[in-house]
Amino acid sequence: MKRKRRKLAAIICALTLALSSAVPVSACTPPLKPPSVEIPDITFQPDDALKEAISNAAKNWIEKCILEKPTVNYATYFKSTSRYFNYAVFSANWNEVENATSYKVRVTKTDGSYKEFDTTYTSFYATNYTDEFFADGMDDATVMVRAYGDNDTFGWWSDDTNIARFGY
């Protein structure tokens, strides 16, 4: 009988404690009434000067983007870590584009960071000794190449090419 009384007393105490902590909280919390804001419709009509500037920019881009898109033949990297030094090397090769005088190589890591390099050759080679960007490796990174020519002409970026890890 004493056990039942103790259990009953414990249950009553627990209920009293739960109700006494819940009621003041709900009594002190004001009702949430978010403000109602109406956003008007915005219509923008550019003036003739802006329309002409946009049209000229598009025409200039089309007139300048006349070179072919390069095709990346291969892109590889090698990384070696030893007790005394780290060594990483990246290389890429692509086809020659007619009338191109230079190329821009964009290497993009998985975190979205990228770095661009300029070259006049149809290949590119770099190590972590010449650029820290390659120091931590290039796992799952990609490379793209764009051709540039005389009179500010250029071409499309090549397709993204995955950089393959070269290993022994």
Tens-digit pLDDT profile for residues 86-141: 788 889 999 999 999 999 999 999 899 999 999 999 999 988 887 788 877 788 89
Please give the domain boundaries of the chain with CATH numbers for all domains. Answer: 66-165 (2.60.40.10)
Query: Model confidence over 39-54: pLDDT tens digits?
Result: 888 888 888 888 888 8
The pTM of this model reads: 0.64
Instruction: Determine whether 141 is exposed, middle or buried from the number of CB atoms within 10 Å of its CB (0-12, 13-18, 19+).
Output: buried
